[in-house]
Structure 1
Amino acid sequence: MSGIPRLRDSTLAFAREGYTFISTRCDRLGTDLFRTRLLLQPVVCLRGAEAAGVFYDPHNFSREHSAPRSAQHLLQDEGSVQTLTGLAHHRRKRLFLDQLSKSSEQRLADIFAEGFDAALSRPDRRRFRVDSDIRAVLTAAALRWAGLEAPRAVVELRAEEFGLMVERAASLGPPNWKARRRRVATERWAAEQVRTLRESDGAADGGSPASAVAHHRDDSGELLPEPVAAVELLNLLRPVVAVGRFMAFAVLALIQRPLWRARLAEGDPEDELLFAQEVRRYFPFFPLVGGTAARSFDWHGHQFRAGDTALLDLYGTNHDARVWHDPESFDPDRFRWWRPDPHTLVPQGGGDVVTGHRCPGEGATLGLIGAAARVVGRHPEFEARIQDLAVDLRHIPAAPKSGVVLTRRTPGS
């Protein structure tokens, strides 16, 4: 028998508490793991850096069948890199790692910064709602970086669809169904891009990220089926737009800490990196991640059996006082003196980026957050008027209640 605490079905409690559900119980029970049920399904909940190390060991857990279909179909869909295991996963993951080299990440950040600066510099721009208006800027940057051309109307349509994929992933019922219907149109558009690239490039060597996806070959030496290539193209583009959630939190931090806004306006790369890391640690992004036990093994008094479902608390691990000094304070300078390991800072997952399922876009995310903060810092004419910036951790995904709105000062105001 397992020696860890066992709780009754926690579906309603999780819905009420959101991001703090696992960590609250771990603190109360004095443990880093407990058993419960969510939606009647048995799960083991884990929290902390040590748990992350166990969870992201590929011998222990896989991502296969680890997410509800409602979320998987919006964020990844079937046949994508996150659903693969072993050598198939490593080969497909390499496709993404190759497109996200340091120089490529920098190019993406530069393209975005140029577009964001242009958006704020428009004479007719009076207000900029960061949490929503930034999506079109990010989508345009992602398409240009990937080597795809699209008119403004298509950019805005894709931006809306990418936003729905992220916002509705944790929802159930009609809101989720609507987003999934919209994703069908997005995948159809992506398939058209893949088809066009294959017809126009022939045996291209993948000079652009989109072309690399279109011409990628798996273990069999065959091109990916068009629907799978379309899904992977979306997996290259959609995460760029998802960074907009971090950007809204970054601007919130600048509003609350004007000294950092002035510092980042100077464009110091180290300050940008420190600030972006703390935004990722401090603010809520994904609350947790699921995994399926790949084998039977014991850990801390619990026997995992192959096929068991586990949930790793990402938000709680990033706020674990055993690792982070004063974790409820926003302090970018903490990263000036200390570098986290792959299991202590896990806003986008943990483990090794090459051999495991850690997000390959972390570098790009950091560059984009830093670029957004720098551009806002260089536009002091935009200020935050009275608004409700409280973040409700019970809601997934969490966001400032009123959104984050920047308003241009008028002469004499």
Structure 2
Amino acid sequence: MPVQVPKDKGIDRTLSIFMDGYEFIQKRTQKHHLDVYETKVLGKKVALLSGEAGVKLFYDNEKMKRNGAMPPHILNTLFGKGGVQTLDGKSHEHRKRLFMSLMTPEGLDELHKLTTRQWDAYTRKWEKKNKVNLFEESLELLTKVGCEWAGIPIEEKAVPKRSKDLNRLIEGASKIGPQYLASLRARNRLEKWMESVIHRVRLGQQETRKGSALYEMAFHQDLNGDLLDKQVAAVELINVIRPLVAISRYLVFGAVALEENPEWKEKIHSHDELLRCFVQEVRRYYPFFPFLAALTTKDFEWQQYHFKQGQMVMLDLYGTNHDPRIWENPDHFDPGRFKDYKGSIYELVPQGGGDYDTGHRCPGEWPTIEVMKASFSFMSKHLTYQLPKQDMSYSLRVIPTLPKSGFVMKKVCNK
């Protein structure tokens, strides 16, 4: 017989998400040493999952689906309507292959080189400035990297505007009021921009290389053999460059980590094999995406808890990355833990877990790693700077979070 797992008291815990932030699920599951906990969000019963076992269940396609699970305010801003994140079954597998086709070794190598070139170009401009805010500058740097890699034409003067809009998608998804409305307006502007580019490509008025994200999104055919609707193609093209711009937060956190752990600046400067270790620990340790949502496809029992068909399920990403059952001293920053790491696809989940090809694991994970490797390699080998007094603390109650100062540098030098 199923037993009643612990549950939150009261009518609703939606406000607790804003109060607890990244630790909303972790505080509940780890307190009771469980992988599942029950609460109510927006008036609906929700099962909270955490840990390796919880990740495995969340990515069981026979028990979980994504269509209809995403809250409208997130769908309308961060991801966009009709995107791959909302699909299931054969439609999802078909669309996912489109994204995976972009992740070739050659494509990722080109992304690495593009990132390095932009770092070189931007740091030479920073040398002429009194102070530089790494977060603000990296938004523009990564917008240029993303557009060039995807084959999207962008004028230099448009980069600040486009980078701000892409960041509004990321920041506005968890907000209410003016910030949320600004995110909606940014989504509308970006989709119209992408639709116009796709339209010109389809008419032969805009050249782009075959194999680029722009070309593939413009001419991808669905299971019925039809081209994607322009709006959906625009959403998917944004889904290529938005995750790259989101890496700006990882770059700032990584810069903080190098200041707090200066021995690792020398290690990744001298030993390329340790660079990936540092990148993975930045992704594990620092907060990025807090949780994901799904709906159950049927009634079933799991760990003595009864799931009902159509029930909302939320997966704890941050808490799983800090689960002491998986990670030794999880709240200690230690890139060395990844030297001989052979963990499963359900342990390290900063951008989700599961299988790349058949599951819902984020295809942007590979580009994320390449951009971070190129960035931290450049920072350790070519960048010198001084840090003025500033507040580099961050709050786990703020989603998405960031060191308060954004990492301000002065006397930047590209050596």
Note the 1:64-213 alignment, pairs <5 A.
64-122=67-125, 123-200=127-204, 206-213=210-217
Name 2:346's counterpart in structure 1. Answer: 343
Question: Which one of 20, 28, 32 corresponds to residue 29 of structure 1?
Answer: 32
TM-score w.r.t. length of structure 1: 0.95
The CA deviation at 1:202 is: 9.9
The CA deviation at 1:11 is: 2.3
**Unaligned stretches of 5+ residues in structure 2:** none
> Contact 2:151/2:208 (CA < 8 Å) preserved in 1?
no
| Separation of aligned partners in 1, 2:361 and 2:238 | 18
Q: Match of 1:391, as an amino acid? A: Y
Q: Deviations over 1:91-139 (max 9, x none)?
A: 1111110011122112112101111122112341333212221011101
1:400–1:155 CA distance, 2 compared to 1 (3 A): same
Question: Which one of 32, 40, 43 corresponds to residue 43 of structure 2?
Answer: 40
SS at match of 1:157: helix
The CA deviation at 1:6 is: 1.9
| Separation of aligned partners in 2, 1:92 and 1:26 | 34
Question: Which one of 330, 341, 355 corresponds to residue 352 of structure 1?
Answer: 355
> Contact 1:205/1:215 (CA < 8 Å) preserved in 2?
no
> Contact 2:29/2:36 (CA < 8 Å) preserved in 1?
yes
Name 1:265's counterpart in structure 2. Answer: 269
> Contact 1:206/1:215 (CA < 8 Å) preserved in 2?
no
1:409–1:371 CA distance, 2 compared to 1 (3 A): closer
Q: Match of 1:30, as an amino acid? A: H
| Separation of aligned partners in 1, 2:154 and 2:329 | 46
Note the 1:268-283 alignment, pairs <5 A.
268-283=271-286
The CA deviation at 1:225 is: 0.9
Q: Match of 2:4, as an amino acid? A: G
| Separation of aligned partners in 1, 2:212 and 2:280 | 28
Name 2:5's counterpart in structure 1. Answer: 4
Q: Deviations over 1:166-209 (max 9, x none)?
A: 11111122211111012101100000110111111799983322
**Unaligned stretches of 5+ residues in structure 1:** none
Q: Match of 2:194, as an amino acid? A: A
The CA deviation at 1:13 is: 2.5
| Separation of aligned partners in 2, 1:14 and 1:92 | 32
Worse-superposed segment, 284-293 or 29-38: 29-38
Note the 1:366-405 alignment, pairs <5 A.
366-405=369-408
What is the percent sequence identity of the aligned residues?
34
> Contact 1:90/1:354 (CA < 8 Å) preserved in 2?
yes
Q: Does the alignment pair 1:244 with 2:233?
A: no
Note the 1:299-318 alignment, pairs <5 A.
299-318=302-321
Q: Deviations over 1:52-99 (max 9, x none)?
A: 001111111111122211111112121111111101111111111001
Worse-superposed segment, 193-202 or 302-311: 193-202
Q: Match of 2:6, as an amino acid? A: P
RMSD: 1.8
| Separation of aligned partners in 2, 1:228 and 1:409 | 42
Q: What is the aligned length?
A: 409
Q: Match of 2:218, as an amino acid? A: A
SS at match of 1:6: coil
Q: Deviations over 1:275-299 (max 9, x none)?
A: 1100100000011111111122110
